[in-house]
Amino acid sequence: MNVVAPFEGIGASVRRKEDLRFLSGRGQYTDDINRPGQTHAWILRSPHAHAAIQGLDTAAAKAMPGVLAVFVGADMAADNVGGIPCGWQIHNKDGSPMAEPPHPALAIGKVRHVGDPVAVVIAETKQQARDAAEAIVVDYAPLPAAATMEQALKPGAPQIHDGAPGNLCYDWHIGDRAVLDAAFAKAHKVVSFETTNNRLVPNAMEPRAAIGEYDAQSGDYTLYTTSQNPHVIRLLMGAFVLHIPEAKLRVVAPDVGGGFGSKIYHYAEEAIVTWASAKVKRPIKWTAERTESFMSDAHGRDHVTKAELALDAQGKILGLKVHTHANMGAYLSTFAPCVPTYLYATLLSGVYVMPVIYAEVKAVFTNTVPVDAYRGAGRPEATYLLERLMDVAAKEMGLDRVEFRRRNFIPVDAFPYQTPVALQYDSGNYFATLDAALETADWKGFEARRAAAAAKGKLRGIGISTYLEACGIAPSAVVGSLGARAGLYEVGTIRVHPTGSVTVLTGAHSHGQGHETTFAQLVADRLGVPIANVDVVHGDTAKVPFGMGTYGSRSLAVGGSAMVKAMDKIVAKGKRIAAHLMEASVEDVEFDRGTFRVAGTDKTKSLTDISLAAYVPHNYPIEEIEPGLEETAFYDPKNFTYPGGCHIAEVEIDAETGKVSMVNFTAVDDVGRVINPMIVEGQVQGGVAQGIGQALLESAIYDDQGQLISGSMMDYTMPRADDLAPVSVATHTTLCTHNPLGVKGCGEVGAIGSPPAVINAVVDALRDYGVRHIEMPATPAKIWNIIHGGRRAAAE
Amino acid sequence: MYEFSYHKPASVADAVKLLSADPEARPISGGMTLLPALKLRLSKPTALVDLSGIAELRGIRRDGGTIVVGALAKHYEVATNADIKAAIPALAWMASTIGDTQVRNRGTMGGSVANNDPSADYPAALLALGATIQTDRRKLSADEFFTGMFSTALDTGELVTAIHIPVPEKAGYAKMKNPASRYSMAGVFVARGPAGVRVAVNGAGANGAFRAPQMEAALQANWSPDAVAGVKMDPAMMNGDIHGSAEYRAHLVTVMAKRAVQNAG
Ligand SMILES: Cc1cc2nc3c(=O)[nH]c(=O)nc-3n(C[C@H](O)[C@H](O)[C@H](O)COP(=O)(O)OP(=O)(O)OC[C@H]3O[C@@H](n4cnc5c(N)ncnc54)[C@H](O)[C@@H]3O)c2cc1C
């Protein structure tokens, strides 16, 4: 009987290999790991947003039961421990570098946000450590706080860092101001728009955790941590903070329960437990409570923006001017400075022909948790601004919002397309994704649905967003010239074992994305190895040669491409071995999915024949070819990738309560070649859920004193299943032209495209109330205020 | 959590003895409110007296014109009990909307009324239904029992043992949930029964659950949604926070009252 194996290669929706482990509770997360002799850390955190530390008495705590040690900032400083570094340097308009104030792992002299670490207690149990932390006496002299950017920028505002006058981190710009002014002078109409992009708390399901372990015999350190990029943590923590050479420091990021960006960064707790483990000569575990996550995981977004769009009489865009304030929080998190600049302002052309763009961005320190990249990072902010502005402008021009967009789309034949803000798009077809989405969402039939809803007392609205993003980050030389202090290539090793099974070592890290499946599919597709025989190893600096990790939807575009390069090398070497075994010339050997063939003959060798020969080199050209079949490649991308598409949201509002219900969501995305359609669908749905969360529900709110009011799930609204709508996901592919797989990335599109679609739908639903704009999140109370205000205005 | 000692008595008498001997000891029923407070170290009892082993606190039964709910009755039991579903469907439905599956299978009516969270569901129902709260030593009407947010007439060491609920002719409930916590942001329970028309509000009040006499009068005169739709509540009595102003809550109370009457049929 001839059994045909199911196709598992590129394009197959194979089930995720990792799911059995996760769904049956057998994942191994950092907190599941227990090291022999392990102790526990509790971090004492500042209850004040801004205060001078006048005294710090740990004597009573040290005497408490089970306590091994208590450390404060001065102890780390005495050991020459460095501050938490920032990985990206932005330059001001005048060419001077941004303000980069020190960020000690444990506060020295001053605390700058609620949750700022002040001391650490190491004890036999977490309870004992926590009890002892309460016995630490800190003499705080509270200082006035700058909880918002507005407060921080006011003359006479509290000065948060000595090295950042006026609480300004940088004042940066991009684009040609003179050309812009000329364009605006010719404009038929200038549409102004102001908006706030709400601050979000990432809330990965797994709280952050870290275990530091020091081996006194070897002098080796190991850090187990909840990270999206263990090699980056090894580099940052080893080189800048603890001064441990790479060879002596192993960083393991085991199963990680969601990151969304918040687990990219090097955090104080990682350095604290690693450093302290050598002091107490025992492993130390720290696991965040949810409350700590709220006040110590880097938050996301938090922009205040004014924009102006210049248009000609036909509704063609002449130019865009943007002025943004971006909140950095109290300290610079690892990649914070690049988010509102090179991941935001460079995206302001969107899917449109914009002759000129000028954007200026001021980054501001405040007495709040540091802000950094969060799913989408900069691109959601740009997309939200643009796609709201397009709706507002269409209305003010008296144009249909779809037609207005179409009129300004980058034409299909214009690729590669150079924007006025540095990026060059390689491929895309925004008309195709728009048309497909309009069709799926039955845009034409909407007015009938609106009337039917009205008959039931509901206000129904529909909203569209045609978006683009830049991901697959990024060419090292380009980002280096823009201030990155790292390269952004990726590394892949393909290890073909003697009997033909394969281990993949990748520098990407999977924390929900399904790499163990998708990457195995790449191997199945190219080398013909069943995915069951492909093991994907990631997240351990002792196993994987190097890597830059997973964020910016880069794993497949960059990490997958590194694997392709490594597989190319495997095939090239395999052909030479096959040529020897089949007594043919190398040029005549062809390879297709696991089979080497002498062209035009029926002489074949399987991959297993070749791997066996490579590891048991009896009949082998040993003088010319090394034994073994393992190859490593570093892949540095030539450009960003540019997924784009169209999202359509349909909502219904209960006019009496203001509550918005999502009734439908359509996403048609161009993510390049699709490896596993099921995984892409899941990624888009998850992203859309977060986008709906931002648009309707989520908001990190500080009071004037810098206390986080929405500091728990009681007040911070995470999206739940019944807040969402059925999300219809489809893809329309134009291939990426510069990576070998033609892939673009799908991890963030959902979170990028959806918020403006939702808000556009809400504004549309309220069209009879004279609403120009509603800020995110569009909560019931806010909408009720609009309806109520509108009614009153109409009555007066 | 801080350290505490743990007792699991088998009778109300033993539980009361333990609690009277130590004013810092606390009873625990489902733990759905007390455990989070302990974990956050917001509460530091010397001892927990676990009521779950006390058989006399269990069960739901109909006794003539009254439903008697044992203090340990879980929300899930209230939601699915055949007598309650037949006699006071609005109460069963209310119970089915509390928290989530886990909470409904742990949390109890006794724990909820003893806690008197201003956003909890039951207090408004018991006020509107004219219920009597039975403790280990006395009986109190709901009006006497609920004395303000997180505050009741219970003495230290006094236990709720059962709740007696007169069966109404009609009852209805409607609530707007807080988007984040999903507790009530404004809920209204309406009932018409032996004690006349009674209307009580949860979630919205600045000082916990309360009765709405104007709405009661309006419904007494005319039992219809329209009768309450025009009754405006005073924002000064309402709570305002990041989820909604006092004005918004005042408005919601009217809307929910209207819907509650609709739901009552
Ligand atoms: C996620 C979540 C969501 C929730 N959502 C809702 C909601 O939507 N609506 C709602 O109404 N509630 C909600 N709750 C609260 C829930 O209903 C609680 O179960 C209830 O408030 C308390 O009941 P318990 O049995 O768990 O009490 P416990 O937590 O055990 O005790 C609560 C308090 O009452 C005291 N106590 C307990 N039993 C007695 C007794 N018999 N006599 C005297 N004192 C006693 C305890 O000492 C303690 O002070 C939610 C809880 C959670 C965790």
Q: Do B179 and A780 touch (CB under 8 A)?
A: yes
The tens digit of pLDDT for each residue in B111-156 reads 999 999 999 999 999 999 999 999 999 999 999 999 999 999 999 9
Q: How many CB atoms lie within 10 A of CB A520?
A: 25
Give the pLDDT of residue A1: 45
Contacts of B229 (CB under 8 A, 6+ apart): B254, B257, B258
Amino acid residing at A428: G
The predicted model gives A307-319 an average pLDDT of 98
In angstroms, what is the span from residue B155 Cα to ligand 1's centroid? 18
Percent with pLDDT over 70 in chain B = 100
The tens digit of pLDDT for each residue in A553-570 reads 999 999 999 999 999 999
**In B167-249, beta strands by DSSP E:** 170-177, 184-193, 196-202, 210-211
The tens digit of pLDDT for each residue in A433-442 reads 999 999 999 9
Q: Do B244 and A781 touch (CB under 8 A)?
A: yes
Residue B52 · residue B29 · CB < 8 Å: yes
pLDDT band at A796 (very low <50, low <70, confident <90, very high): very low
In angstroms, what is the span from residue B181 Cα to ligand 1's centroid? 14
Instruction: Please give the CATH topology (third level) of the domain spanning A19-27+489-635.
Output: Aldehyde Oxidoreductase; domain 4 (3.30.365)
Give the pLDDT of residue A6: 81
Asked if residue B116 has its Cβ within 6 Å of ligand 1, the reply is no
pLDDT above 90 for A420: yes
**Average model confidence (pLDDT) across chain A:** 96
The tens digit of pLDDT for each residue in A233-267 reads 999 999 999 999 999 999 999 999 999 999 999 99
Q: What are residue A140's phi and psi, to 5 degrees? A: -90, 140
Residue B134 · residue B73 · CB < 8 Å: no
Percent with pLDDT over 70 in chain A = 99
pLDDT band at A790 (very low <50, low <70, confident <90, very high): low
Q: Find the angle CA(A307)-CA(A309)-CA(A315) to the nearest 5 degrees.
A: 155
Q: What are residue A342's phi and psi, to 5 degrees? A: -80, -10
Half-sphere exposure of A653 (CA within 13 A, CB side): 30
Q: Closest-CA residue in chain B for A709?
A: B242
Asked if residue B202 has its Cβ within 6 Å of ligand 1, the reply is no
Give the pLDDT of residue A5: 72
CA distance B185 to B174: 11
Percent with pLDDT over 90 in chain A = 98
Asked if residue B103 has its Cβ within 6 Å of ligand 1, the reply is yes
CA distance B98 to A572: 64
Chain A with chain B: Cβ pairs closer than 8 A: 46
CATH architecture, domain A426-465+643-796: 2-Layer Sandwich (3.30)
Give the residue from A203, A297, A209 showing the smallest Cα distance to A252: A209
Q: Do B248 and A697 touch (CB under 8 A)?
A: no
Going A536 to A539 to A542 to A545, the CA torsion angle's sign is positive
User: Going from the N-terminus, what domains does chain B have, and what CATH number goes with each?
Assistant: 1-54 (3.30.43.10), 170-264 (3.30.390.50)
The encoded tokens of residue A631 equal: 């190859």
CA distances from A304 to A307, A325, A331, A616, B263 (A): 10, 5, 19, 65, 44
pLDDT band at A788 (very low <50, low <70, confident <90, very high): confident
pLDDT above 60 for A792: no
Tokens 């790991």 found at? A33
Residue A230 · residue A505 · CB < 8 Å: no
Asked if residue B99 has its Cβ within 6 Å of ligand 1, the reply is yes
pLDDT band at A3 (very low <50, low <70, confident <90, very high): low
Q: Do A785 and B180 touch (CB under 8 A)?
A: no
Q: Closest-CA residue in chain A for B3?
A: A127
Say how far residue A445 (Cα) sits from the centre of its chain. Answer: 36
Q: Find the angle CA(A734)-CA(A724)-CA(A667) to the nearest 5 degrees.
A: 15
Amino acid residing at A88: W
The tens digit of pLDDT for each residue in A567-598 reads 999 999 999 999 999 999 999 999 999 999 99
Residue A704 · residue A204 · CB < 8 Å: no
The tens digit of pLDDT for each residue in A175-207 reads 999 999 999 999 999 999 999 999 999 999 999
Give the pLDDT of residue A795: 41
pLDDT above 60 for A2: no
3-state per-residue secondary structure call for A550-614: CCCCCHHHHHHHHHHHHHHHHHHHHHHHHHHHCCCCHHHEEEECCEEEECCCCCEEEHHHHHHHH
For chain A, say whether B230 makes contact (Cβ under 8 Å): no
CA distances from A412 to A416, A432, B91 (A): 10, 9, 61
Percent with pLDDT over 90 in chain B = 98
What's the CATH number of domain A39-146+202-296, 3.60.40.10, 3.90.1170.50, 3.40.50.300, 3.20.20.80?
Answer: 3.90.1170.50
The predicted model gives A93-102 an average pLDDT of 98
Q: What are residue A518's phi and psi, to 5 degrees? A: -60, -45
pLDDT above 70 for A476: yes
Give the pLDDT of residue A447: 98
Residue of A45, A198, A656, A709 to mutate, interface with B, max B Cβ within 10 Å: A656
The tens digit of pLDDT for each residue in A624-663 reads 999 999 999 999 999 999 999 999 999 999 999 999 999 9
Half-sphere exposure of A672 (CA within 13 A, CB side): 31
Tokens 């196709």 found at? A7
pLDDT above 50 for A793: no
Nearest to A657 among B2, B176, B245 (CB): B176
Please state the pTM of the whole predicted model. 0.97
